[in-house]
Amino acid sequence: MLSRSLIPFFSVLFLTASVHAAELPPEASKHGWWWYEKEPQETQERQDTRRLPSLSEHTPGELWNMHPDDFQALLMAFQKKAVMAPTIENVREYYIVQDIARRKALAFANVAAAVIQKFPELSLEKDFPNAIPGKLAKVRRQSEELASKINQAKERFALVYFYSPSCGYCSEQSEILNFFVSKYRWQVRAVDISRNSSLAEMFHVRAVPYIMLIHKESEEFMPVAIGVVSLAQMEERVFRGIRLLEKEISPEEYSMYEFERGGGFDPGALLKVNEPYP
């Protein structure tokens, strides 16, 4: 009985659907998003409304006194105009603006040279001489301070040298290390990582040759080099490591020699002056 009662219901439903389908034209029955048909898009031509610069809109004085940010933007606009349309006139205009930039840079450089001569305290020539005799004198002061510091520290510091018999680079570094020892008479402990891996692990040694600076009176240490380094490099790093571990310098003063303190290569020298600028 239930199946017979549903027959009229489904008959009406299919009949209604057939009527609505019949109302649609055949060519429209398979159009739309259901049939994966993309909706037509309106085609509009892209119009470039950017305004191109022209030298006729500026005087040389205006360009000369223009704010650097505005001038840079204008210079780039002239360059892009010349690249977009590389005509004789466009490229000429770009080079005219470029010439103004060159002359303005020259004016600044000339004024800077005059300021350095008028206010010599702003110059680094006293700390970094340009003349060869001055350069040689500075190198001598650096070498004397470096050698003196390393010689004075040999009782308080030592080197630990990690190596491996199978390491080809280690043999080269061993010879350089021997030069250092014969020159400064420092104590060096050589550690074969293949026989003493626990000590290498303690200091996080991952590659050899590896040289480390240790303080005999404390647990502080500092790596000096990994890989092959020259004698001059080793001396400089040991020198700076000693000064850091003994708190003679801060990390900000790492490259500073003591004779440079208070000068142009002392980063914190200005912070010691509490008076305003004249």
CATH number at residue 218: 3.40.30.10
246 and 159 together in one domain: yes
- Is residue 122 in a domain? no
| Containing structural domain, residue 245 | 154-254
pLDDT value for 206: 87
- In tens, the pLDDT along 211-241 reads 999 999 888 899 999 999 999 999 999 999 9
pTM for the whole thing? 0.70
pLDDT of residue 48: 59
**Whether residue 161 sits in one domain with residue 108:** no
Q: pLDDT tens for residues 72-100?
A: 999 999 999 999 999 999 999 999 999 99
**Is 85 part of a structural domain of the chain?**
yes
Are residues 221 and 174 part of one domain? Answer: yes
In a domain, residue 274? The reply is no
- Number of structural domains the chain divides into: 2
Asked whether residue 104 is assigned to any structural domain, the reply reads yes
> Domain check: are 160 and 109 in the same one?
no
Which residue type is seen at 156? R
Residue 46 domain-assigned (yes or no): no
Res 14: pLDDT: 42
What would the DSSP string read from start to end of 76-107?
A: HHHHHHHHHS--HHHHHHHHHHHHHHHHHHHH
233 domain residue, yes or no? yes
**Residue 11 confidence class, pLDDT cut points 50, 70, 90:** very low
Inside any domain, residue 88? yes
**Residue 238 three-state SS:** helix
Reported as a pLDDT band with limits 50, 70 and 90, residue 202 is confident
Q: Does residue 128 fall inside a structural domain?
A: no
Joined together, the tokens standing for residue 101 give 């930039």
